[in-house]
Structure formats: C-alpha cells, structure tokens
C-alpha cells in the first residue's frame, strides 16, 4: 500500500495541509457566513412571530373582554325589556280587570233593578190575584157583593202586616 510508505509521508502531509486549509478557508469565508445569515434571519423571523403572537394574544384578550361586556350588557338589556314587558302586561291586565269589574257592577246593578221591578210586578200581580180571590170567595161564601175598593184596602192592609 502506497499510503503507508514512509517516503511519501511528507508529500501526503503537505497535500493534507493544503486541502484542509483550503477547505477550512472555504467553510470559514463562504459557508459559515451564509449559515450565520440563515440563523440570524430565522431568529429574527421567530422573534417577529413571537412578538406578533403576543400582539394577537393581547388583541384576542381585548376582543374577549369586549365580547363578555357586550354579552353582559345584552343580558341586562334583555332583563330590562322583559321587566318592562311584564310591567306593561300587568298594567294592561289591571286596566282590563277594572273595565271588567265596572261592566260586572253595571250588569249586577241592572240585574238588581230588573229583579226589583219583577218583584214589584209580582207583588202587584199577587195583590190583584188576592183581590179577585177575596172578592170571589167573599161573594160565594156570603152571597154579598162587596165593593172592589173595600177589598183592595183590606188586601193592602193584610200585605202591609206581612212585611
């Protein structure tokens, strides 16, 4: 094997130094700066993305608090509207109830008047019937025709005593 021949060691070492030195210079001058640029760009992009993420997070938190405030305001407004609606319904029910009570009182008063009228008419009819019965009975029992006015006075006196 020619690599292990001691006479060629010096030339091999020379070319080894030249090759590695060239390779080292190429890596040091060209590859490492490009890698540094790539890493710096990557770092700046990551830092920018992290900053943007923090901004978006703070915006999202602000939007969330605004949303929660809006929802609570909506619930309060809904509760107020429901309260107003129930109050309006209660007022309307009270008004209708008062109107109905007035109508019922009028109907009751009218019915009492009709009952009183019917009662007085019935009493008049009963008195007329009583007068006729008394006249017929007195005539048939005694055979005497009494005056109609005397029988009417007698029935009126008897009806006054019954009250």
Per-residue pLDDT of 81-93, as tens digits, reads 999 999 999 999 9
Of the candidates 59, 78, 79, 77, the residue with the CA atom closest to the CA atom of residue 67: 59
The answer to whether residue 127 sits within a structural domain is: yes
The answer to whether residue 151 sits within a structural domain is: yes
Q: Identify the residue with better confidence: 123 or 50.
A: 50
141 pLDDT tier (thresholds 50, 70, 90):
confident
Q: Identify the residue with better confidence: 130 or 53.
A: 53
Query: Does 163 have pLDDT greater than 60?
Result: no
The answer to whether residue 4 sits within a structural domain is: no
The answer to whether residue 22 sits within a structural domain is: yes
DSSP state of 3: G
Max CA distance (Å), the chain: 191
Instruction: State how many domains the chain has.
Output: 1
The answer to whether residue 99 sits within a structural domain is: yes
The answer to whether residue 3 sits within a structural domain is: no
Q: What is the pLDDT of residue 162?
A: 56
For residues 161 and 163, give the distance between their C-alpha atoms in angstroms, rounded to a whole number: 5
Boundaries of domain holding 97: 9-162
DSSP state of 31: I
């Amino acid at each position: 094997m020619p690599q292990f021949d001691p006479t060629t060691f010096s030339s091999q070492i020379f070319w080894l130094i030249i090759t590695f030195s060239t390779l080292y210079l190429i890596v040091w001058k060209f590859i490492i700066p490009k890698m540094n640029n790539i890493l710096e760009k990557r770092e700046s992009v990551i830092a920018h993305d992290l900053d943007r993420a923090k901004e978006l997070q703070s915006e999202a938190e602000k939007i969330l608090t605004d949303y929660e405030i809006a929802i609570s305001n909506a619930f309060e407004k809904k509760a107020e509207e429901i309260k107003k609606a129930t109050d309006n319904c209660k007022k309307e029910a009270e008004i209708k109830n008062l109107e109905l009570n007035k109508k019922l009182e009028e109907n009751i008063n009218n019915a009492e008047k009709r009952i009183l009228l019917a009662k007085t008419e019935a009493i008049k009819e009963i008195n007329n019937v009583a007068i006729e019965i008394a006249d017929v009975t007195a005539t048939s029992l005694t055979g005497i025709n009494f005056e109609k006015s005397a029988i009417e006075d007698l029935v009126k006196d008897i009806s006054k005593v019954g009250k």
